[in-house]
A and B are shown apart, each in its own frame.
Chain A
Amino acid sequence: MSSVGERIKSYPGFGVLAAVCLVLLYAPLLIVMIYSFNESPSITRWGGFSLTWYVDVFTGSESSKFKVAAWNSISIALMATIGATTIATAAAIGMTRSGYWRGKSLSFALINLPIMVPEIVTAVATLIFFSAIGFKTGYLSILLAHIVFCIPFAYLPIAARLQGISSSYEEAAIDLYASRWQAFRYVLLPILLPGVVSGALLAFIVSLDDFLITNFVKGAGVETLPTAIFGAVKQGIKPNIMAISTLMLLVSVLFVTVSWWIGRVGDKSSVVASK
Chain B
Amino acid sequence: MAGGTLQNTGVDGAAFAGLRHRLLFPSWLTIGVLLVIPVLLMLVYSFLTKEFRGGVVWEFSLAAYDQFFFDRGLFGDEPVKIEWTYINIFIRSIVQASLATVFCLLIGFPTAYYIATRPASSRAIWLFMITVPYWVNLLIRTVSMKFLIRDTGPLNHWLMQAGLISEPFHIINTNIAVQLGLFYSYLPFMVLPIYAAVERFDFALVEAAHDLYANRWTTLRRILIPVVRPGVIAGCILVFVPSLGAFLAPDLLGGAKNFMIGSLIEEQFRGSAGNWPFGAAASMILLSLVLLVLMYYARSESRRP
Residue from A25, A147, A256, A260 with most neighbouring chain B CB atoms (10 Å) = A25
Query: Do A237 and B143 have beta carbons less than 8 Å apart?
Result: yes
Partner of B13, one of A9, A96, A107: A96
- In the complex, whether B67 has a CB less than 8 A from a CB of chain A is no
Query: Do B248 and A212 have beta carbons less than 8 Å apart?
Result: yes
Bound-state CA distance A245–B128 (Å) is 21
Partner of A98, one of B16, B108, B131, B247: B16
Q: Which residues of B contact A140 (CB under 8 A)?
A: none
- In the complex, whether A51 has a CB less than 8 A from a CB of chain B is no
Query: Do A91 and B23 have beta carbons less than 8 Å apart?
Result: yes
Q: Which residues of A contact B241 (CB under 8 A)?
A: 116, 118
Query: Do A167 and B13 have beta carbons less than 8 Å apart?
Result: yes
- In the complex, whether A151 has a CB less than 8 A from a CB of chain B is yes
Query: Do B144 and A5 have beta carbons less than 8 Å apart?
Result: no
Residue from B124, B130, B144 with most neighbouring chain A CB atoms (10 Å) = B144
Partner of B210, one of A8, A21, A121: A8
CB < 8 Å A-B pair total = 287
Query: Do B42 and A100 have beta carbons less than 8 Å apart?
Result: no
Bound-state CA distance A205–B132 (Å) is 12
Q: Which residues of B contact A27 (CB under 8 A)?
A: 148
Q: Which residues of B contact A173 (CB under 8 A)?
A: 15
Kindly identify, within residues 35 to 66 of chain B, every residue whose CB is under 8 Å from any CB belonging to chain A: 35-39, 41-42, 45, 55
Min distance, Cβ A84 to any Cβ of chain B, angstroms: 9
Bound-state CA distance A95–B17 (Å) is 9
Min distance, Cβ A10 to any Cβ of chain B, angstroms: 7
Bound-state CA distance A90–B28 (Å) is 11
Query: Do A167 and B210 have beta carbons less than 8 Å apart?
Result: no
B148-188 near A? 1/0 per residue, CB < 8 Å: 10001110010000000000000000000000000010011
Q: Which residues of A contact B12 (CB under 8 A)?
A: 99, 167
- In the complex, whether B114 has a CB less than 8 A from a CB of chain A is yes
Which residues of B pack against A, CB within 8 Å? 4-5, 8-10, 12-17, 19-24, 26-28, 30-32, 34-39, 41-42, 45, 55, 107-108, 110-111, 113-115, 117, 124, 126, 128-133, 135-141, 143-148, 152-154, 157, 184, 187-188, 191, 203, 206-207, 210, 216, 219-220, 241-242, 244-245, 247-248, 252, 261-262, 265-266, 269, 276, 279-280, 283, 286-287, 290, 294
Other than the given A11-B220, A18-B115, 14 more pairs (CB < 8 A) read A5-B203, A26-B133, A29-B141, A93-B16, A99-B17, A101-B20, A111-B27, A116-B241, A128-B38, A128-B42, A129-B34, A167-B13, A233-B146, A245-B137
Which residues of A pack against B, CB within 8 Å? 4-5, 8-11, 13-15, 17-18, 20-22, 24-29, 31-32, 35, 43-45, 86-88, 90-91, 93-101, 107, 110-111, 113-114, 116-122, 124-129, 131-132, 144-145, 147-148, 151, 155, 163, 167, 170-171, 173-174, 180, 183-184, 202, 205, 208-209, 211-212, 216, 226, 229-230, 233, 237, 241-242, 245, 248-249, 252-253, 255-257, 260, 264
